[in-house]
A and B are shown apart, each in its own frame.
Chain A
């Protein structure tokens, strides 16, 4: 079990992800953004941060780095890819997931713990967790997931919505939506379920920091 953690200029959650891998006993290695292949890894993490300073749009410049072409090829062969926060934004920009991430509705950077309802989906990172409520932190300025009404229906019909902001009991309500995301969406996956993007940080809810993030990491296997 080898996990590759991609580092862009401006990535800052790389060591948190490594810590999470260590907690779970996974072998992990950093992958520099200019590297053009990701051979030999079982899972690739695109961690949070501010790749390329978030210039232009979050994730917009990172999508042109050599490693992202390799990650796209890896995912097309069925490899598991998880994009957390800025990693989610990069997956969206590169087209491995669809939609857009806008500025938070209240224009503020939000850093707090949230509750997330795990939806029934085809995501391979949440198998067996459907219906559970997880608690983990968010920390972002642009996490407001947006897509067209047609695409939202497509996500619903194809079980590609993975996590939604909820209260502690798992009720998905407007007041639990921290950033204005359409349909309270906190994470989605692709059609094959092997590419998963989410705004919350599971790597900050492992070991001494909590247990719910570990449930996501455990499914790397």
Chain B
């Protein structure tokens, strides 16, 4: 069973990496971009289905709840 966890900075958190990329991209393309945000993508493989384990992993290790939100997907 394969899971994907995506961790993103919370909306209210300043994302300077995203801002820097957006700035360069706009200059390069000469077009305006509404927003770019940078997150993290994790692929987790288990030999069984275990939503609870992945949820725990995403909540306690892969993300920091003060500044990040996460999304778990089964693939």
30 contacts between A and B (CB under 8 A): A56-B61, A56-B62, A57-B64, A60-B61, A60-B64, A64-B61, A93-B64, A98-B66, A99-B66, A100-B64, A100-B66, A100-B67, A102-B13, A102-B14, A102-B16, A102-B67, A103-B16, A103-B17, A104-B16, A105-B14, A106-B16, A107-B16, A107-B17, A107-B20, A146-B13, A146-B66, A146-B67, A147-B66, A148-B66, A180-B14
Interface of A with B (CB < 8 Å)?
56-57, 60, 64, 93, 98-100, 102-107, 146-148, 180
User: How many A-B Cβ pairs are below 8 Å?
Assistant: 31
Among B1-58, those with CB < 8 Å from A are 13-14, 16-17, 20
Q: How many residues of B contact A (CB 8 A)?
A: 10
Q: Output the nearest chain A residue to B12 by Cβ-Cβ distance.
A: A148
Question: Considering the complex of A and B, which 6 residue pairs feature the smallest CB-CB distances, nearest first?
Answer: A100-B66, A100-B67, A107-B16, A103-B16, A100-B64, A107-B20
Q: Report Cα–Cα, A155/B17, bound state, in Å.
A: 28
Point out the residues of chain B lying under 8 angstroms from A98, CB to CB: 66
Q: Output the nearest chain B residue to A104 by Cβ-Cβ distance.
A: B16
Q: How far is the CB of A22 from chain B (nearest CB, A)?
A: 36
Q: Output the nearest chain B residue to A106 by Cβ-Cβ distance.
A: B16
Q: Which of A98, A102, A146, A148 has the most CB of B within 10 A?
A: A102
Point out the residues of chain B lying under 8 angstroms from A103, CB to CB: 16-17
Q: How far is the CB of A56 from chain B (nearest CB, A)?
A: 7
Q: Report Cα–Cα, A116/B67, bound state, in Å.
A: 26
Point out the residues of chain A lying under 8 angstroms from B62, CB to CB: 56
Q: How far is the CB of A101 from chain B (nearest CB, A)?
A: 9
Q: Report Cα–Cα, A167/B59, bound state, in Å.
A: 39
Point out the residues of chain B lying under 8 angstroms from A57, CB to CB: 64
Point out the residues of chain B lying under 8 angstroms from A146, CB to CB: 13, 66-67
Q: How far is the CB of B9 from chain A (nearest CB, A)?
A: 8
- Asked, given contacts A56-B61, A60-B61, whether A105 binds B16 with beta carbons under 8 Å apart, the answer is yes
* Contacts beyond the supplied A100-B64, A100-B67: 6 A-B pairs with Cβ under 8 Å: A56-B61, A105-B16, A107-B17, A146-B13, A146-B67, A180-B14
Q: Report Cα–Cα, A102/B68, bound state, in Å.
A: 11
Q: Report Cα–Cα, A180/B67, bound state, in Å.
A: 15
